[in-house]
Amino acid sequence: MFSPPDGPKLPSVSVSPSAEIVEGSSVNLTCSSDANPAANYTWYKENQTLLQGPGGNYYFTSISSKDSGNYHCKAENQHGLINSSSLSIDVQYGPKLPSVSVSPSAEIVEGSSVNLTCSSDANPAARYTWYKENEDSPKASGQIFTITDFRAEHSGNYYCVAQNRRGSQSSTLHLSVVAETWKSVIIGTTPAVFLVTVWLCVFLLIRKKRTSKQLQGPGDGSDNREQSEEQDELHYASIHFSKNQTDPVYSNIRPAGLRKHEGQEEEEEEEDDKVEYAAVKFNSASTPPRTRGQETGEDPDVCYSTVNKTAELNRKL
């Protein structure tokens, strides 16, 4: 029977196997349409092109969870084209390795509340059960396990089991408690440690400053030069008294030959404070004069006075 040329009719789509699709199995998608001449078929996942060709089949040799989604096909010949209805692919798989966490994430203080959380990617959704290591009976069921009053006996390893009809996986979490007394000791000693540190820094600073002053000395070079010049102008003379002399006699003696001039009067007035002392020796009639050898010995009656002889007077002399 002759069939006139015609464009494709609405394509029919199917999946095999038609039952639940499990990750790792092989899957075949089929698209067919009545067309004259025969149509060419193209498969799409969402808006992504997968295959073009004369056959209407698309194969998954080992389907995975990422292949889940909506598919459709397009039938086309020179007389027209048409898209099929959407086909949903749901790939089932067992739980992936669960991730576990604890809140608060810092150190667990005795008496505080602790939340353990478990999550896993699975299709269908996983069921969660919490166990403590070396204990057969479960501690809790559900994605979140809460310990309201954490004690030392709660320390240990906990593991979460994620399970569905396609399989199961588990992950372990370790918990340890910090005693409240130790926390108090730490909080109490912190200010003391801080104060000791500050005191030590101040002590080292003071010590550094004292060491620096000692290295610098009592004065600079200019002070030492002034003191040296002053010492150069100091002369000493001895005054001898006889044993019978009770009252010491002092005399201001000016150098011989020094005469005043009218232009020098003001200079001499300024130099009144620069007094020279000469040796004055008194001997009684009964006391013989001392020889040079006797004068060199120690004499308890000898007194010393300072003679400040200025450079100006030396020039005049």
Tell me what pLDDT residue 203 has: 77
Higher model confidence: residue 242 or residue 126? Answer: 126
Distance, CA of 126 to chain centre: 43
Backbone angles phi, psi at 230, to 5 degrees: -65, -40
CA–CA separation, 182 and 190 (whole Å):
12
Token pair belonging to 120:
């896993």
pLDDT interval class at 161 (50, 70, 90): very high
**What mean pLDDT do residues 263-269 have?**
49
CA–CA separation, 127 and 120 (whole Å):
9
Alpha helices of the chain — where are they, by DSSP H?
180-216, 221-232, 265-270, 292-295, 311-316
pLDDT interval class at 270 (50, 70, 90): very low
Tell me what pLDDT residue 294 has: 46
CA–CA separation, 41 and 49 (whole Å):
11
Token pair belonging to 290:
């001392």
Distance (Å) of CA 178 to CA 132, 151, 211, 251: 19, 9, 48, 94
Tell me what pLDDT residue 5 has: 81
Token pair belonging to 203:
């002590």
Tell me what pLDDT residue 51 has: 82
Q: Partners of 108 in the beta sheet?
A: 177
Q: Are 19 and 56 in contact (CB under 8 A)?
A: no
Cα-based angle 171, 174, 179 (whole degrees, multiple of 5): 160
Tell me what pLDDT residue 215 has: 63
Spatial CB neighbours of 240, under 8 Å, sequence gap ≥ 6: 279, 280, 281, 282, 290, 299, 301, 302
Tell me what pLDDT residue 189 has: 60
Tell me what pLDDT residue 218 has: 54
Which pLDDT tens digit goes with each residue over 274-294? 444 444 454 444 444 454 444
**Residue 95 scores a pLDDT above 60:** yes
**Residue 106 scores a pLDDT above 60:** yes
**What mean pLDDT do residues 1-18 have?**
85
Query: How buried is 225 (Cβ within 10 angstroms: 0-12 exposed, 13-18 middle, 19+ buried)?
Result: exposed
Tell me what pLDDT residue 276 has: 47
What mean pLDDT is reported for the chain?
A: 75
Instruction: Compute the chain's Rg from CA coordinates.
Output: 59
Domains of the chain: residue spans and CATH: 12-92 (2.60.40.10), 99-180 (2.60.40.10), 230-255+274-284+299-317 (no CATH)
Which pLDDT tens digit goes with each residue over 20-51? 999 999 999 999 999 999 999 999 998 899 98
Tell me what pLDDT residue 289 has: 47
CA-based nearest residue to 153, from 129, 179, 117: 179
Q: Are 35 and 9 in contact (CB under 8 A)?
A: yes
Spatial CB neighbours of 243, under 8 Å, sequence gap ≥ 6: 284, 287, 301
pLDDT interval class at 187 (50, 70, 90): low
Give pTM, 2 decimals.
0.53
Question: What one-character DSSP code corresponds to residue 221?
Answer: H
